[in-house]
Amino acid sequence: MDENILIAKNLVKTYTQRSGRFGFGSTQVKALNDVSISLSAGKTLAVVGESGSGKSTLARCLLQLQPLDSGEVLFQGQDLARLQPSALREMRKNLQMVFQDPFASLNPRMRVGEIVGEGLLIHDIGNAAEQQKKVLAMLKRVGLTEADMQKYPHEFSGGQRQRIGIARALVLQPQVVVCDEPVSALDVSIQAQILLLLKELQQEMALSYIFISHDLRVVRHIADDMVVMYRGQVVEQGAVADIYVRPAHAYTQNLLAAIPGKRVVSG
């Protein structure tokens, strides 16, 4: 039986939206409505759904980048939602994120070496020489070079920028990485390269991934288990192989039916 490394229980997150002709009214929108998930150590859990399903809100709430209304996020026996800021900051070394847009997630005024090494500085890991050594090793591992350390993000392609984003997340040697639509902004051929890199790094570094995506074709190639979200709720979960062949929920069936050439057997 797989050991769970991250468990989220009964997560609720509500937003207030302006409404009415002049925006004087407001409505409550539940982005997360009693969401519970578990991530097995060394595995990839995909969270899938269309835009507005709540999956990116879930990603940010898991890492406490956004506060929850209620619920628990358990990691190493501690509820992240109840940690003091200093304790949460320390815990974040083990919980990192790869963002969706490699064009927007990198500071354009920082050199690549500074971007990748920023986490080492924040967490006071090693001296300057040791930090530079770690940064260089990670950049090389994701397919970049020593010369790239002195360049700025605008000098790289989208795929290369996402490699920088991956290096930034992994240089701290985290245990859990949340990947929020990490290949959706990339060309299909580049997507395949990044997915292969993520899988190789998972094996080498014993990483556990939460992989947020709207594309079930991508999910099939990287994930072990899958959670399907619809309007802030989990409507189906299980092994990817099982859900892909025999989805139980009508929403999941519709998502799979939208894949060109895919035949779906309803469960």
In this model, does residue 1 exceed pLDDT 50? Answer: no
Q: Classify residue 166 by burial, with Cβ atoms within 10 Å: 0-12, 13-18, 19+.
A: buried
pLDDT of 253 reads 92
Bigger pLDDT: 114 vs 258: 114
CA distance 90 to 120: 12
Report which of 196, 192, 170 is spatially closest to residue 94, judged by C-alpha positions: 170
What is the spatial distance between Cα 139 and Cα 146, in angstroms, rounded to a whole number? 8
Q: What is the rounded average pLDDT of the residues 249-254?
A: 93
Helices 128-141 & 112-122, crossing angle to 10 degrees?
120
Cβ atoms within 10 Å of 30's Cβ, excluding its own: 17
- pLDDT for 247 equals 94
C-alpha distances in Å from residue 88, one per residue of 13, 75, 85, 95: 19, 11, 5, 10
Q: Residue 103: its pLDDT value, please?
A: 78
Lowest mean pLDDT among 46-50, 124-128, 231-235, 263-267: 263-267
Q: What is the percent of the chain where pLDDT is above 90?
A: 78
Ordered strands of the 233-239 beta sheet:
95-98, 176-180, 208-213, 44-48, 225-230, 233-239
Domain residue ranges of the chain, discontinuous segments joined by +: 4-257
219, 261 Cβ separation under 8 angstroms:
no
Q: How many CA atoms lie within 13 A of 195 on its CB side?
A: 22
Read off the pLDDT band of 241 (50, 70, 90).
Answer: very high
Is the pLDDT reported for residue 264 higher than 80?
Answer: no
β-pair partners for 35: 11
Which pLDDT score is estimated for 17? 76
CATH fold of 4-257: Rossmann fold (3.40.50)
pLDDT band at 261 (very low <50, low <70, confident <90, very high): low
The whole-number average pLDDT for the span 254-260 is 85
Provide the pLDDT confidence category of residue 101 given band limits of 50, 70 and 90: confident
